[in-house]
């Protein structure tokens, strides 16, 4: 990779894309390309094709997606399926047509079967049924993985898929309707802490489910470093898990965030709400054998994320899905 290689980061304003942009700039890459959704609608095939014809990127990193937690996935299944397929298919096919030699597709650990053996290995893909609460997003991401694999097999191009575990960090979505579990907890505990301090009455925090499911979390800046590593190296296979290889219960996560935020009230668990997949721990041995390993502990990452939240909370806008 040359430092002036033309690298297009799709979704460069999002949590993942912006972290990748910062990591590449820190490494000295000087020819980064980005477009906002208002400048380029990635769901529009002709617009994406025209963009590739004009900008001629040499490398493409697909960090663009419609994302959300259980509530958003359950409420808008069609959008999560169709729009994610439109985005990734346009990017992948335009990259092939424009002779882009290196493409990095970012997916999600939800592509693996709900009841697959733990930890999740790459070869478990398509060996069982998916978690119903996010199967629409998962199916879209699986088609992206397979499209990159097909191009790699048929055309010999260096198209690879990185499957990160649950991500969090700066520029995360803290909207309580559409966010994932970790940023939602940060906001809930913070709001309850502020209310308690103002009212002098201990405000409880209500959380979904039983608290028993186990989850793995990766600080987004670690993922960005994994993407830079993938750019700088040629991988033997097409699919690699990216995570920490360690997990904890949702209850333990809540207690950690509660401690970091400084909330002292009660935590109430609403067992009538869905838990989702019982466990999702990634087997990250392939990535470690390739030469990369996560370095940020969960406590350190949550502390950094909460500090970022405090510094930017006045700018947050509620996210609405049309």
Q: Is residue 185 part of a domain?
A: no
- Cβ(298)–Cβ(257) below 8 Å: no
Annotated binding-site ranges for substrate: 188, 208, 215, 275
Spatial neighbors of 83 by CB under 8 A, at least 6 apart, are: 43, 66
Regions of the chain where pLDDT drops below 50: 318-322
Q: Is residue 269 part of a domain?
A: no
Tally of structural domains, the chain: 1
Q: Is residue 261 part of a domain?
A: no
**pLDDT at residue 317, rounded to an integer:** 59
Q: Is residue 181 part of a domain?
A: no
Annotated binding-site ranges for NADP(+): 11-17, 106-109, 141, 164-167, 180
Among candidate residues 216, 206, 217, 204, the one with its CA nearest the CA of residue 168: 217
- For strands 217-219 and 267-270, give the pairing: unpaired
**pLDDT at residue 129, rounded to an integer:** 95
Q: Is residue 104 part of a domain?
A: yes
Q: Is residue 304 part of a domain?
A: no
CB neighbourhood size of 62 (10 A): 26
In 204-312, the DSSP E strands lie at 205-208, 214-215, 217-219, 239-242, 248-249, 267-270, 279-280
Please identify which of the residues 137, 219, 240, 306 carries the catalytic annotation. 137
The model scores a pTM over 0.75: yes
Q: Is residue 195 part of a domain?
A: no
Q: Is residue 315 part of a domain?
A: no
Phi and psi angles of residue 277, each rounded to the nearest 5 degrees, phi first: -60, 135
Among candidate residues 246, 247, 186, the one with its CA nearest the CA of residue 215: 247
Annotated binding-site ranges: 11-17, 106-109, 141, 164-167, 180, 188, 208, 215, 275
Assess whether 137 carries a catalytic annotation. yes
What CATH code is carried by the domain that includes residue 110? 3.40.50.720
**pLDDT at residue 286, rounded to an integer:** 98
Q: What is the pLDDT of residues 219-234, one digit of tens each?
A: 999 999 999 999 999 9
For residue 22, give its domain range.
Answer: 7-169+216-246+281-296
């Amino acid at each position: 990779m040359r430092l002036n290689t033309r690298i297009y980061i799709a979704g460069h304003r999002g949590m993942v894309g912006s972290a990748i942009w910062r990591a590449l700039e820190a490494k000295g890459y000087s020819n980064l390309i980005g477009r906002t959704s208002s400048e380029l609608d990635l769901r529009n095939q002709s617009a994406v094709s025209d963009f590739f014809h004009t900008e001629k990127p040499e490398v493409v990193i697909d960090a663009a997606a419609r994302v959300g937690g259980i509530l958003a996935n359950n409420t808008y299944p069609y959008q999560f399926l169709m729009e994610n397929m439109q985005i990734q298919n346009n990017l992948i096919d335009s990259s092939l047509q424009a002779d882009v030699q290196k493409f990095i597709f970012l997916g999600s650990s939800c592509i693996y079967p709900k009841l697959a053996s733990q930890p999740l290995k790459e070869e478990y893909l398509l060996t069982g049924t998916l978690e119903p609460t996010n199967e629409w997003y998962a199916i879209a991401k699986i088609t992206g993985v397979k499209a990159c694999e097909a191009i790699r097999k048929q055309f010999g191009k260096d198209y690879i898929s990185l499957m990160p575990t649950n991500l969090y960090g700066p520029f995360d979505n803290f909207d309580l309707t559409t966010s994932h579990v970790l940023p939602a907890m940060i906001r809930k505990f913070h709001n309850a802490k502020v209310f308690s301090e103002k009212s002098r009455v201990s405000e409880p925090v209500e959380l979904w489910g039983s608290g028993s499911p186990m989850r793995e979390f990766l600080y987004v800046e670690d993922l960005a470093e994994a993407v830079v590593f993938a750019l700088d190296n040629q991988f033997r296979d097409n699919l690699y898990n990216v995570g920490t290889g360690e997990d904890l219960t949702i209850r333990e996560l809540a207690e950690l965030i509660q401690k970091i935020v400084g909330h002292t009230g009660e935590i109430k668990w609403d067992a009538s709400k869905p838990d989702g997949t019982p466990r999702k721990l990634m087997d990250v041995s392939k990535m470690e054998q390739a030469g990369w390993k996560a370095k940020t502990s969960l406590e350190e990452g949550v502390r950094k994320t909460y500090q970022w939240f405090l510094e930017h909370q006045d700018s947050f806008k509620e996210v609405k899905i049309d």
